[in-house]
Homo-oligomer: A and B are copies of this chain.
Amino acid sequence: MSKQYTTDPQTEEPQETRARIIAAASRVLATKGYDATTLREISREAQAAPGLVHYYFGGKDQLLVEALQAAGQQFHQRMQHLVRQIPDEQSLDAFLTQISERVEQDENIYRLRYESFSLGLHNALIAPAVSERLARRREEIGSVMGTILEKLARTEGVERSAVDLTILAALLLALFDGLALQKIMDASFDLEAAYSVLARMLRGLLVS
């Protein structure tokens, strides 16, 4: 599982070291689960001194949250760029296609997300960060859907005020995670068909 890094710890920027540790933590946590993961193992995977991992992040819970934050931010920026660039009438389908393809491309992210959910539900220390992550993800999805709604308003006569964006984002957040789970747990699950029904549901809600 470990990779060879050719970085020299003497000259590496702190920013790069942090990123390297976060990437290593993502891999180990997604594979072994939160409870079975040790900081020592993350250090080994990151080829970093255990003290350094502790110095930057404190503990596993902080690393889990930071890994999700880093991946979430990156993905969100990609989605915003996508829906802005693409022709108006294709924006909804393009967004949904990216999300459904992310399940295979980024399976580990969904594993990490579910680790954080179960942890947040019984660990009071990490619960606030998980709750905040959910709220943040709702905002991100809501902002992308806002752009899509503007575009659909131009081409399909959709009312921009047709639906509360935060509520719509909450539904989509549940769907994205829940459909990913069903696909990861059962390779024969027809994710494509599910996203095609979701697209119909959204059009039924927005274009009415």
Which residues of A approach B to under 8 Å, CB–CB?
A: 30-36, 110-111, 114-115, 117-123, 127, 130-131, 134-135, 138, 163-164, 167-168, 170-171, 173-175, 177-179, 181-182, 184-186, 189-190, 193-194, 197-198, 200-205, 208
Contact = CB atoms under 8 A, between A and B. Distances in A.
Contacts of A34: 118
B117 A122 contact: no
A121 B117 contact: no
Contact of A130 (B123, B173, B185, B201): B185
B194 A170 contact: yes
A184 B130 CA distance: 11
B121 A184 contact: yes
A33 B164 CA distance: 35
Contact of A174 (B35, B164, B178, B190): B178
